[in-house]
Chains A and B, each alone.
Chain A
Amino acid sequence: MMNLVWLGLILAGVAVAAATGRAAEVTDAAFAGGKLAIETAIGLAGLMALWMGIMKIAERSGLMEGLAMLLRPVVRWLFPTVPRDHPAVGAMLMNISANMLGLGSAATPFGLKAMQELQELNPDKETASEAMCTFLALNTASITLVPGTIIALRATYGSVNPAEIVVATLIASVVAGIFSIGLDWAVRTALRARGR
């Protein structure tokens, strides 16, 4: 999919340039884009290092585990088909906590572990179980407490107050998260009613 989008952007751009006679502008823009990428990355590198450094302290001090403990009742309630003390619960909790703290690289291994555990409970190994669908609904909505990368990116481009979007982002992501879980529940219930 990304291959198509990328190719489409370039081909459409060049085609329109041919029609409007903007070949020179397009050449300049292509090189300027490459230059901007490096400038952005350099600006971002220092801020990402700072952010990930602070978050590593959070990770080491057990913040993920603490958050996971708070979320345990919610996760048990969301996954009625998963036994209360199944290892899947622990892996899902750590994945969700890491996601909420914006620790993407820590989240993925726990997420993959959770999928393995959920697959053990899955009667049909090629078809997604209800619990898997709910887990992914939760994952793709990703509630973020502090979006560190975006704050860093905004600072790179000279925002007066790069963090001003924190609360707005949190509200929007909670709305999307609740909607996602609700929709997953509604579809699941409707399919069950039809016996599928």
Chain B
Amino acid sequence: MSVLNSLSLWAVPGMLALIPLWGAIRRVPVYDAFIEGAEEGLEIAVKIIPFLVGMLMALSIFRASGAMELLAEAMSGITGALGFPSEVLPLMIVRPLSGAGALAVTADLLKTHGPDSFIGRLASIMQGSTDTTFYVLTVYFGSVGIRRVRYSAAVGLTADLVGFLAALYVCQWFFR
């Protein structure tokens, strides 16, 4: 476990050193490439602002009104049976629908419970181990005019659920 944890700890410093070094060996103008990529990164950050505003506002209303508690109580049978804290339920609903929306839900959970809490870590892992199934299906099949997607929606959503469960168990294994 301590080996895996130090692997996580060194993932970012390692990449910060090794990727530019590798780039230099391959004769990439590393600083120019970095600047170009950083510009794209800023664009992404600006593009997700509307999603963040929309989702964080809606989630804040939902939480402050007490509706979140009601939903958590109503669903605690289902989420509890699987072992999930009911706080992550909104993330499970939004994740297959919208990538930027799910990022906003994760942001809300990290802000409310703290990034180093169990819920914060679980939300982080859930966000990283699943994808926006409906979005990918719509864009990819839509681009070539496929109307009958057959079993792929069911397979994608089941995989999302398994991803959530895997995130839960791995999170418990690592951080408890």
Give chain A's interface residues, CB within 8 Å of chain B: 1-2, 5-6, 9-10, 12-17, 20, 22, 25-26, 28-30, 32-34, 36-38, 40-41, 44-45, 48-63, 104-105, 108, 111-112, 115-116, 118-119, 125-128, 132-133, 135-137, 139-142, 144, 146-147, 149-151, 153-154, 157-169, 171-173, 175-177, 179-180, 183-184, 187-188, 191
Contacts and interface: CB of A to CB of B under 8 A. Distances in A.
Contact of A57 (B28, B55, B141, B155): B28
Contacts of B36: 53, 56
Interface in B152-176: 152, 154-156, 158-160, 162-163, 166-167, 170-171, 173-175
A26 B61 contact: yes
Q: Is the interface of B mostly helix, strand, loop or mixed?
A: helix
Nearest to A52: B41
Interface of B: 4-5, 7-9, 11-12, 15-16, 19-20, 22-23, 25-26, 28, 30, 33-42, 44-46, 48-49, 52-67, 70-71, 90, 93-94, 97-99, 101, 103-104, 106-107, 110-111, 114-116, 120-121, 124-134, 136-137, 139-141, 143-152, 154-156, 158-160, 162-163, 166-167, 170-171, 173-175
Contact of A126 (B134, B147, B174): B147
